[in-house]
Structure 1
Amino acid sequence: MTRFGYTLMTEQSGPKELVGYAVDAERAGFDFEVMSDHYSPWLASQGHAPYAWSVLGAVAHATERVGLATYVTCPTMRYHPAVVAQKAATIQLLSDGRFTLGLGAGENLNEHVVGERWPGVDERHDMLEEAALIIRELLTGDLVTVEGEHFRVDSARIWDAPEGGVPIGIAVSGEKSLERFAPIGDHLITTEPEAALVDGWKARTEADEPRAIGQVPICWAPDADEAVALAHDQFRWFAGGWSVNSDLPTPAGFTQASQYVRPEDVASSIACGPDLDALAESVRPFLDAGFTDIALVQVGDRHQQRFLDEVAEPLLEKLRALG
């Protein structure tokens, strides 16, 4: 049975609001919650970027049932993999085993802030593979020393290591990344509803019950025109595609790159408005592709509380009827 999740979008809400939304999303019946891990918003109009791991700690304490995950964190530049392993272990303990560590190769937007050069995609994937292997080894609680091509770890141990470790999801986008990351990851994370990615991951991973985790933006508002305007203001960066989005360094750059994206362009790729059937139907490509987990993004902070109070429960009923 497909699980439906809620996205704690750090780019569009402050830290206290996110914790409150997490509690309300659990109450509304979502199965899991994923959190973005950004240093900057995509666009200045989004206006937020709290530290995801602090918020995750608060969410782990404030919720009881929902699964939690990063969607996704980059363990190669802004964070050393040894630090990511420690953070993931702590969140797993605080959440009583509900946490999945989602990893990805990162975006220039968030990683350039530490003053290092932005590597090409092949090098980023080399770094991610090495980092994921280090994290998995550290999560055993054993003493670890590594002299790698990209990272050094010197006599490190996670002293509060959760029994059974932490499941690791890895973001992939095609055959090459499937070949590389499925054998070292547990769960697939991807933004495209492609059955080949789901099937390819299942064929290559060693995990017993691999999940395929996708994400779908929607924009509910009481008026359709308002919803389109809100989605255009907050999410027009989405039209750039991942090859563009991973390389632009600043919100100003995304503003310039998306200046010719029209409201109707956004509305053609994001379901907008008050029609719950249309919002639910927008997840069908992921259902048809065999995804086990689909996280919704309610675009913008403006109607977030009303969405959770009034819309989430009936929308989840429609989604579960589809799935």
Structure 2
Amino acid sequence: MAVVGWHASHEQISPSRLLEDVRYAEDVGFEAVWSSDHFSPWSVRQGESGFAFSWLGAAMATTALPFGVVNAPGQRYHPAIVAQAMATLAEMFPGRLSVALGTGEFSNEHITGERWPDKQARNARLRECVDVIRALLAGDEVTHHGHVHVDRARLWTLPERPPRLLATAVSEATARLAGEWAEGLITIWQPEDTLRKLIDGFRGNGGEGKPLALQVHVSWAPDEEEALRIAHEQWRTNVFEAPLCWDIATPEEFDLAAKHVRPEDMHGGVLISHDPKRFAGWLHEAIELGFDEIYLHHVGQEQRAFLDCFGEHVLPAVRA
């Protein structure tokens, strides 16, 4: 049976409120949590940007759930620091941490002042970071010079078992590369044909038998028009396809780019409805495609009514 988890959106909700929300998500029956990791939000309207690794320590200490977090090592984060953060959390909370590594977005990475590499270079940099992180988690002393530089780094605090390393991917090409190194794959809701190609690419290049996870953006409200209003108000800056979404620098620029996005345009990237049965049906479709873990991100800033509805109606329907 697929695991159904809740997504903690640091771009939209303050860390203290997210801490209350994650405890509530556990209470209503969500089985796992995924976390974003942004330096800035996608929109000025969202208005938050808590530090994910600080929050994870508090959230994992006050719940019993497994947690995952997206991370882009190589520019904003040095891979040795990522490995240290992962090792510390995994030592405190054995068997509960997963990290999905990706190539990042300019909106988060430009803060270092370094040049933003093209996608091919970012892919190569990520692969180097993966090797560095794996070696450090294995207890090795690492020196490395390439897209990233490491000088005699060693982790002195190690977990008994390293955390699970997944890859992020939204395209077949990236998923195929991920099959070579990742212990699993996480992607976002897309058309069925796109997801099938992505899954086949991952499985056909080393990912066979490895877990598949899916993040699903949803907007629920008791009224259909309200659900659509929430999606448009909070998430219209997230409708852009790659490479545009990778290369915009600031929340203000995202808001400018989204100036002409209409409410009806939201239905592609966000599942919008007032009917819990529709959401249960969508989740069954994802499970039938082969996803082992599904993380629901309600794109509104208020989470409690959504958590109540899905805990009472959607989660039992999916499990049945």
TM-score normalised by structure 1 residue count: 0.92
User: Could you say which residue in structure 1 is the equivalent of 2:230?
Assistant: 230
User: Could you say which residue in structure 2 is the equivalent of 1:313?
Assistant: 312
Residue 266 of structure 2: SS of its match in structure 1? Answer: helix
Q: Determine the C-alpha separation between the residues in 2 that align with 1:308 and 1:173.
A: 27
Residue 134, structure 1, aligned to residue 132, structure 2: yes
Which whole-Å deviations, capped at 9, do the CAs of 1:274-311 have from their partners, x for residues lacking one?
21012222334422321111110011113x02222343
Farther off after superposition, 215-224 or 5-14: 215-224
Paired residues for 1:252-271 under 5 Å: 252-267=252-267, 269-271=269-271
Residue 32, structure 1, aligned to residue 38, structure 2: no
Residue 168, structure 1, aligned to residue 155, structure 2: no
Alignment check: 8 A CA contact 1:129 1:181 kept: no
Q: Determine the C-alpha separation between the residues in 1 that align with 2:312 and 2:248.
A: 37
Residue 59 of structure 2: SS of its match in structure 1? Answer: helix
Query: Considering only aligned residues, what root-mean-square deviation do their CA atoms show, in Å?
Result: 1.8
Change (3 A) 1:138 1:204: same
Alignment check: 8 A CA contact 2:107 2:247 kept: yes
Alignment check: 8 A CA contact 1:186 1:205 kept: no
User: Could you say which residue in structure 2 is the equivalent of 1:69?
Assistant: 68
Alignment check: 8 A CA contact 2:88 2:157 kept: yes
Q: Determine the C-alpha separation between the residues in 2 that align with 1:27 and 1:180.
A: 38
Residue 151 of structure 2: SS of its match in structure 1? Answer: strand
Change (3 A) 1:310 1:286: closer
Residue 279, structure 1, aligned to residue 276, structure 2: no
Q: Determine the C-alpha separation between the residues in 1 that align with 2:279 and 2:10.
A: 22
Farther off after superposition, 181-190 or 121-130: 181-190
**Alpha-carbon offset, residue 136 of structure 1:** 0.8
Q: Determine the C-alpha separation between the residues in 2 that align with 1:296 and 1:11.
A: 15
How many matched pairs? 316
User: Could you say which residue in structure 1 is the equivalent of 2:249?
Assistant: 249
Structure 2: which 5+ residue stretches go unaligned?
none
Change (3 A) 1:143 1:38: same
Q: Determine the C-alpha separation between the residues in 1 that align with 2:218 and 2:20.
A: 20
Farther off after superposition, 274-283 or 223-232: 274-283
**Alpha-carbon offset, residue 28 of structure 1:** 1.6
User: Could you say which residue in structure 2 is the equivalent of 1:159?
Assistant: 156
Q: Determine the C-alpha separation between the residues in 1 that align with 2:244 and 2:84.
A: 31
Paired residues for 1:90-239 under 5 Å: 90-147=88-145, 149-191=146-188, 192=190, 194-205=195-206, 210-239=210-239
Residue 274 of structure 2: SS of its match in structure 1? Answer: coil
Amino acid at match of 2:198: L
Farther off after superposition, 285-294 or 216-225: 285-294
Alignment check: 8 A CA contact 1:104 1:170 kept: yes
Farther off after superposition, 213-222 or 98-107: 213-222
**Alpha-carbon offset, residue 206 of structure 1:** 6.7
Amino acid at match of 1:170: A
**Alpha-carbon offset, residue 180 of structure 1:** 2.6
Farther off after superposition, 134-143 or 267-276: 267-276
Residue 272 of structure 1: SS of its match in structure 2? Answer: strand
Q: Determine the C-alpha separation between the residues in 1 that align with 2:198 and 2:267.
A: 26
TM-score normalised by structure 2 residue count: 0.93
Percent of aligned pairs with the same amino acid? 36
Change (3 A) 1:206 1:200: closer
Farther off after superposition, 25-34 or 50-59: 25-34
Q: Determine the C-alpha separation between the residues in 2 that align with 1:241 and 1:40.
A: 19
Residue 240 of structure 1: SS of its match in structure 2? Answer: coil
User: Could you say which residue in structure 2 is the equivalent of 1:4?
Assistant: 4
Farther off after superposition, 46-55 or 175-184: 175-184
Alignment check: 8 A CA contact 1:60 1:94 kept: no
